[in-house]
Amino acid sequence: MGERMKAYIEEAEAALLHTYNRYQIVLDRGDGVYLYDIEGKKYLDFVAGIAVFALGYNNSEYNDALKGQIDKLLHTSNYYYNVPAIEAAKKLKAASGMDRVFFTNSGAEAMEGAIKAARKYAYLKDGAKDHEIIAMEHSFHGRTMGALSVTGNPKYREPFEPMIGNIRFARLNDFDSVLSQVTDRTCAVILEPVQGEGGLIPAREDFLRKVRALCDERDILLIFDEVQCGMGRTGYLFAWQRYGVKPDIMTAAKALGCGVPLGAFLMTERVGQHSLTAGDHGTTYGGNPLAGAAADKVLELFEKRHILEHVREVAPYLEMRLDELAARHDSIVERRGLGLMQGLVFDRPVSDLIERALNKGLILINAGAEIIRFVPPLIIEKEHIDEMIGILEECL
Ligand SMILES: *Cc1c(COP(=O)(O)O)cnc(C)c1O
């Protein structure tokens, strides 16, 4: 590491709160699927800012759309309409199969809104204030208090208790565990169709179908957190479309803004008509003109560049190459995931391996101590997958 990078890292450690064990690089710019640090070293990026930069770095159409909007109007209050947010909402509504959109600034905030909508829906039915939510073990929904309350990782929750209360945990792909947590107070079931942080675990279709039927029967709202697995990652714009099991409320973020902080919670008309109304929820920045312009352009480019078709084409190749790698190395227990959201499960901690890869110019990230997560830009090509496998193989 050069002197300049070392100096920046020291300054960062002196000024920033120590909530991350950061990798020792200072990133400067990106181009396509490559990133460059401030000393000019090039990295192949299989993280995409954690499933954010779907379109790749320095996409000129996307950048131009943002620059144009900056020169026009960056922000205005949600008490007024703005064209970029209207265009984005229209596109998102059509593409997601949902009917109503509320823009937020992040995934966690989208989850907060989803939880509030579900509680309000139940409150309007019976006026009770003790409704319960069923969430999944090993889930991840964000770090704010509501989102954290439904996050199935006790280590993340415990220091900050008490949580929002009346949350019960069940196990993904174990329908009986969900059924056993249902009471006459249950207002929502929250789950990720593909658990990300929790270890790249796809829901099984029969499990989702059974939960859907249960929710229909008991008028419980089904909430899908598509913050990580949505926006094309599974080869469908949203994972529910791949499964054919539609939620009542859905959240999105990460690749929705492709770098501009942006999230959304969406719902069906039925929930929209019977939950949050004027005065119930709000945000200063959420869905401002810059964020709207970002989402609008991202959704336009997904279509124009045939991103979903591309993911469906390259994802099986990534799976195949990872499977081959797993077969060659005893330390790899299994590969799992869906689309361009894959994990390699090792029999040992992966932090050393990730650091060796970084030194060789490959950016990877973990999901839990023993899993390497692969969430590259969705524009990744087979040659990049070959390059990644080559470096990873050397590191192994
Ligand atoms: C990242 C993530 C969140 C939280 O999003 P932030 O934008 O970091 O608040 C929520 N749910 C899932 C599934 C995520 O992967």
Cα 302 from chain centroid (whole Å)? 17
Strand, helix or coil at 174?
A: coil
Q: Which numbered atom of ligand 1 lies nearest the CA of 106?
A: 7
CATH of 62-304, one of 3.90.1010.10, 3.40.30.10, 1.10.3980.10, 3.40.640.10: 3.40.640.10
| Same fold: 3-55+306-395 with 62-304 | no
| Residue 70, both tokens | 């900056």
pLDDT in tens, 195-254: 999 999 999 999 999 999 999 999 999 999 999 999 999 999 999 999 999 999 999 999
Give Cβ neighbours of residue 7 (< 8 Å, ≥ 6 apart). none
Q: Which numbered atom of ligand 1 lies nearest the CA of 192?
A: 13
| Residue 110, both tokens | 């989208």
Q: Which of 194, 197, 225, 254 to mutate to test the pocket of ligand 1 (most atoms within 8 A of CB)?
A: 254
Residues lining ligand 1, CB < 6 A?
Answer: 106-108, 111, 140-142, 192, 196-197, 225, 227-228, 253-254, 263
CATH of 3-55+306-395, one of 3.40.50.360, 3.90.1150.10, 3.30.499.10, 3.40.630.30: 3.90.1150.10
Mean pLDDT across the stretch 13-22? 95
Strand, helix or coil at 222?
A: strand
Beta pairing class for 132-136 and 186-191: parallel
- pLDDT of 253 reads 98
Q: What share of the chain is helix, strand, coil (3-state, %, to 5)?
A: 45, 20, 40
- pLDDT of 1 reads 85
- pLDDT of 354 reads 98
Nearest residue to 336 via CA among 379, 378, 367, 312: 367
| Residue 181, both tokens | 């947590």
DSSP class of 324:
H
Q: Which numbered atom of ligand 1 lies nearest the CA of 195?
A: 13
β-bridge mates for residue 202, sequence order: 194
pLDDT in tens, 32-57: 999 999 999 999 999 999 999 999 99
β-bridge mates for residue 346, sequence order: 332
What is the pTM for the complete model shown? 0.98
List the domain boundaries for the chain: 3-55+306-395, 62-304
pLDDT in tens, 125-169: 999 999 999 999 999 999 999 999 999 999 999 999 999 999 999
Q: What is the largest CA-CA distance in the chain?
A: 64
β-bridge mates for residue 167, sequence order: 133
- pLDDT of 216 reads 98
- Ligand 1 centre to CA of 56 (Å) is 20
**From atom 5 of ligand 1, which residue's Cα is the shortest distance away?**
107
